[in-house]
Amino acid sequence: MKRIAVFTSGGDAPGMNACVRAVVRTALYHNVEVYGIVRAYDGMISGDFIPLEFNSVSNIIQRGGTILKSARCDEFRTVEGRRKAAKQLKKFNIDGVVAIGGDGTFTGAQIFTKEHGIPFIGCPGTIDNDLFGTDNTIGYDTALNTVIEAVDKIRDTADAHDRLFFVEVMGRDAGFIALRSGIAVGADAVLIPETATFVDSLIKRLERGRAHRKTSSIIIVAEGDDGGGAYEVARKVKEKYNQYETKVTVLGHIQRGGSPSAYDRVLASMLGKAAVEALLEGRRNEMAGVVNKKVAFTSFQRAIKHNREINKELLHLAESLA
Ligand code: ATP
């Protein structure tokens, strides 16, 4: 393998830059040239490739976002789009590709490798932590810390005014951010897509809290919760229970931004290195992850969404401590 490419795709996540840096530095260490593909599959189709040198990735380990930009690309979902992408990779003599992204990115990579034979290795770069085959995805730890910092501030004002706060966090299909941050902030309830939301039992819980002289409450709601998101759940609760002044905060994109945590920087560095070395060893169509502190590889097929289940013990912990 003489030349590889790297790109970042899907929703951006803190730590993607640290991963790009590790890919570039590891490849150069093994005398392999590296190209960065700008704007993910979009740039792959249009041929937006840039050579990356040692210094191209200096001073980026601490930066959120991604220097290679990210994009969602519908054309790559078509046979013709992927044919154009393959043509560009061949034109630039790319022998292997490191894809940093989430389940959609790996779904596309898997289809592409079957059609065109160019090997891909994935690094899990998504704040959602919804991939099977890694304890954490790159960006998840930083996003959790961002949520916790924000909710701690909300709690101060909630306490001062006897308020019930519904805080919506990211997670369209998965409740990992909501559950773990809910435990970390001592939320009164955590509403996630994996479990059904019953407004009556939520109200019972709030009543129990009031019986213990609780004057304020925080409910964490994953955006994909079946109750309909924080605004909708708050409306339904207020209809039946108006002991509190009810407020809603949607944290939104602040969860994606910011400098990556120490954990995410180290994880991204380990996985970027592992991905390049996996390509050099002849692996393909696999995601590099960390399981029990060791690098492990999982096929794209197994890694992608819905194979990862919510941790029932954490769910029980959140409920029992609330
Ligand atoms: P995140 O978890 O942060 O959303 P992701 O990788 O899941 O990241 P997606 O937008 O789902 O993000 O996917 C990224 C890109 O992967 C899409 O824009 C598209 O170009 C490609 N992709 C996704 N699904 C497919 C598919 N079934 N076939 C071909 N390409 C796909």
Report the residue among 42, 46, 74, 76 best suited for mutation to probe ligand 1: largest number of ligand atoms under 8 A from its CB: 76
Closest CA to 60 of 20, 25, 13, 117: 20
pLDDT in tens, 119-143: 999 999 999 999 999 999 999 999 9
Residue 8 and residue 127 share a domain: yes
Whether residue 17 has its Cβ less than 6 Å from ligand 1: no
Residue 125 and residue 17 share a domain: yes
pLDDT at 42: 98
**0.85 cut: is pTM over it?**
yes
pLDDT at 318: 92
Residue 288 and residue 238 share a domain: no
Residue 264 and residue 134 share a domain: yes
- Look at ligand 1, atom 26, and give the residue with the nearest C-alpha: 108
Whether residue 217 has its Cβ less than 6 Å from ligand 1: no
Task: State yes or no: pLDDT of 148 exceeds 80.
Answer: yes
CA of 103 to the centre of ligand 1 (A): 7
Task: State yes or no: pLDDT of 269 exceeds 90.
Answer: yes
Please compute the mean of the pLDDT values over residues 34-40 and round it to a whole number.
Answer: 98
pLDDT at 210: 80
pLDDT band (50, 70, 90) for residue 212: confident
Mean pLDDT, rounded, of the chain: 94
pLDDT at 205: 87
Please compute the mean of the pLDDT values over residues 168-193 and round it to a whole number.
Answer: 95
Report the residue among 41, 42, 107 best suited for mutation to probe ligand 1: largest number of ligand atoms under 8 A from its CB: 107
Residue 281 and residue 247 share a domain: no
Is position 130 within any domain? yes
For residue 51, the SS3 value is strand
Whether residue 139 has its Cβ less than 6 Å from ligand 1: no
Note if 128 is an active site residue: yes
Is position 78 within any domain? yes
Question: Amino acid identity of 104?
Answer: G
pLDDT in tens, 54-70: 999 999 999 999 999 99
Question: Amino acid identity of 28?
Answer: L
Task: State yes or no: pLDDT of 93 exceeds 90.
Answer: yes
Residue 154 and residue 114 share a domain: no
Strand 286-291 and strand 245-250: pairing? unpaired
Given 12, 42, 103, 128, the catalytic residue: 128
Residue 9 and residue 109 share a domain: yes
Boundary-marking domain end, from 215, 232, 256: 256
Please compute the mean of the pLDDT values over residues 269-294 and round it to a whole number.
Answer: 97
Question: What CATH number is associated with residue 14?
Answer: 3.40.50.450
Residue 164 and residue 56 share a domain: no
Is position 315 within any domain? no
Is position 313 within any domain? no
Residue 252 and residue 221 share a domain: yes
Full residue range of the structural domain in which residue 197 is found: 144-256
Residue 151 and residue 134 share a domain: no
Task: State yes or no: pLDDT of 158 exceeds 90.
Answer: no
CA of 76 to the centre of ligand 1 (A): 9
pLDDT at 160: 77
Provide the b/e sequence for 31-70 (b: ≥16 CB within 10 Å).
ebbbbbbbbbbbbbbbebbeebeeeebeebbebbbbbbbb
- Look at ligand 1, atom 11, and give the residue with the nearest C-alpha: 104
Please compute the mean of the pLDDT values over residues 158-175 and round it to a whole number.
Answer: 89
Is position 310 within any domain? no
Question: What CATH number is associated with residue 207?
Answer: 3.40.50.460
Give the chain's domain count: 2
Residue 226 and residue 119 share a domain: no
CA of 82 to the centre of ligand 1 (A): 13
Whether residue 227 has its Cβ less than 6 Å from ligand 1: no
Is position 277 within any domain? yes
Is position 193 within any domain? yes
Is position 321 within any domain? no
Residue 156 and residue 250 share a domain: yes
pLDDT band (50, 70, 90) for residue 215: confident
Task: State yes or no: pLDDT of 36 exceeds 90.
Answer: yes
